[in-house]
Structure 1
Amino acid sequence: MRAIAWRWAKRIGLGVLALGLLIHLYALLLTLVLPPTTLNMTGSALVGRDVQHRSVPLEEISPHLVRAVIAAEDSRFCSHGGIDMDAINQALRERSAGGRLRGASTISQQTAKNVFFWNGGGYVRKAGEAWMTLVIETVWGKERIMETYLNIAEWGDGIYGAEAAAQARFGVSAADLSPYQAALLAAVLPNPNDWRVDPPGNYVSGRASTLQQRMGIVQRDGLASCVLD
């Protein structure tokens, strides 16, 4: 019985090692090409959604959208190493003071999760996400992380990536997004299947207006300097 258990343990261990090796090789490959799909896109297709997705290089995405997602999702994107410990500690302090526990996930972490993992999964997925965040910060760098993030982020209704979102929501290319259109897209990122931009409700409109002000701060203070010239 012990021999059988040992054989199965070795097989499982080898399987885990092989899977880890494949994930790391895939991360290296993605320094050359953008992800053709993600598990989230596959999941959308499996439930019958018409997945809309077309990758474009970062230079074909409006800098307004880069500033908008930094303003909305991760103002310290250019200064942290992938995991923002200051944001995590602040979230924990707010929770201990009686507030609700808010997310402190960086753009790098969201990119790692969306490229290599799935929604849910508990601590096992979170541990893998944290490790792969450090991997892509080291191997890809900030520009590639932002480029990948903007090409795989979900904007609801099976729409993935900035180009598909710009075309579907506003009838323009991602390169031609106005500051307000970019702010609207960034405003719905936390909940893209429930918050709408066409037309936006009062909450989304107000959040987008606030983000436009923050985008000015991002530009003024160079908070997107690791991505934009």
Structure 2
Amino acid sequence: MTRSRGRRRWLRRLLVLPVALVLLSVLQVAALRFVDPPVSMVMVEHRLRAWVEGDGDFRLRYQWRDLGQISTSLPLAAIAAEDQRFAEHRGFDLEAIEKAREQHARGGRLRGASTISQQTAKNVFLWSGRSWVRKGLEAWYTVLMELMWPKQRILEMYVNVAEFGPGIYGAQAAAQAFFGKDADALTAAEAARLAAVLPSPRRYSASNPGPYVQRRTGQIQRQMRQIGGESYLEKL
């Protein structure tokens, strides 16, 4: 009898655990709708990795700036470079996913189709990597964010926590590190150059742009005009 009661107790605990985790994630997203995060999980991950590897030169640079304190060119450049359907989708760009699948089926390189919402979910709440567990959690947090945050908040969070270089996170730190100015003074060309390194900020440099970054910067500037310039941001 005692053993049976013990099994039931453990079963109840196992059932309560996922419910508690769901509630915790909802509370996390609800809180960050109004509270600006002091750090993101990716920042914590990179700091711990540097400590484990004995990288004494690692320095984390991050200063939050509200969207109104950031040049409109940067969020526009990020959208043009990473997610041109940001204003239209609800977290997942099914058209981009299908195009990526078709390209891969034809023998092309498998490219990512992550939206700004998905990238924000990963950067703020999760860790790097490609495991199915991490991707599943990313999808869950993306759904919560799209339900509980306006698009402007998602975009604001993205440009504040995105990594633009080793240890350099967000618009303000990037503007100071690469251009010696505050984020609200970034020009369209400077914003496009920052967006050009977003796919791989530890491989490409905004301060010393190579041929790829220079070419990509020009493409992003053209895409910024093609999607409507600053009028695009009025859709959000």
* TM-score bracket, shorter-length normalisation: over 0.9
Structure number, greater radius of gyration: 2
Q: Distance in 2 between matches of 1:5 and 1:195?
A: 55
| Contiguous gaps of at least 5 residues in structure 2 | 52-57
2:45, 2:127 within 8 Å by CA — same for their partners in 1? no
1:11 to 10, 13, 30: 13
Equivalent positions of 1:93-108 (< 5 A) are 93-108=102-117
Q: Distance in 2 between matches of 1:42 and 1:14?
A: 28
Following TM superposition, by how much is the alpha carbon of 1:38 offset from its aligned partner in structure 2, in angstroms? 1.3
| 2:162 is equivalent to residue 160 of structure 1 | no
Alignment CA distance shift 1:28-1:219 (3 Å): same
Q: How many residues align?
A: 227
Equivalent positions of 1:1-229 (< 5 A) are 7-46=9-48, 47-48=50-51, 49-120=58-129, 122-220=131-229, 222-227=231-236
1:78, 1:225 within 8 Å by CA — same for their partners in 2? no
What secondary structure sits across from 1:98 in the alignment?
Answer: coil
Q: Distance in 2 between matches of 1:109 and 1:127?
A: 11
* 1:60-85 Cα deviation digits (max 9, x unpaired): 11111111101100000001111010
* 1:105-131 Cα deviation digits (max 9, x unpaired): 000111111111111251122122112
Alignment CA distance shift 1:95-1:137 (3 Å): same
Aligned to 2:54: none
What secondary structure sits across from 2:235 in the alignment?
Answer: coil
Alignment CA distance shift 1:79-1:4 (3 Å): same
What secondary structure sits across from 1:181 in the alignment?
Answer: helix
What secondary structure sits across from 2:166 in the alignment?
Answer: coil
TM-score by length of structure 2 reads 0.89
Alignment CA distance shift 1:91-1:134 (3 Å): same
Following TM superposition, by how much is the alpha carbon of 1:221 offset from its aligned partner in structure 2, in angstroms? 9.2
Q: Distance in 2 between matches of 1:7 and 1:64?
A: 56
Aligned amino acid, residue 199 of structure 2: P
2:91, 2:146 within 8 Å by CA — same for their partners in 1? yes
Aligned amino acid, residue 198 of structure 2: L
| Contiguous gaps of at least 5 residues in structure 1 | none
* 1:34-74 Cα deviation digits (max 9, x unpaired): 22211111122221421111111001111111111011000
Alignment CA distance shift 1:70-1:37 (3 Å): same
Identity of aligned residues (%): 44
What secondary structure sits across from 2:64 in the alignment?
Answer: coil
Alignment CA distance shift 1:181-1:9 (3 Å): farther
TM-score by length of structure 1 reads 0.92
Alignment CA distance shift 1:133-1:6 (3 Å): same
Q: Distance in 2 between matches of 1:216 and 1:21?
A: 42
Which sits farther off after the overlay, 212-221 or 79-88?
A: 212-221
Query: CA RMSD, aligned part only?
Result: 1.9
Alignment CA distance shift 1:168-1:205 (3 Å): same
Aligned amino acid, residue 126 of structure 2: F
Following TM superposition, by how much is the alpha carbon of 1:16 offset from its aligned partner in structure 2, in angstroms? 3.0
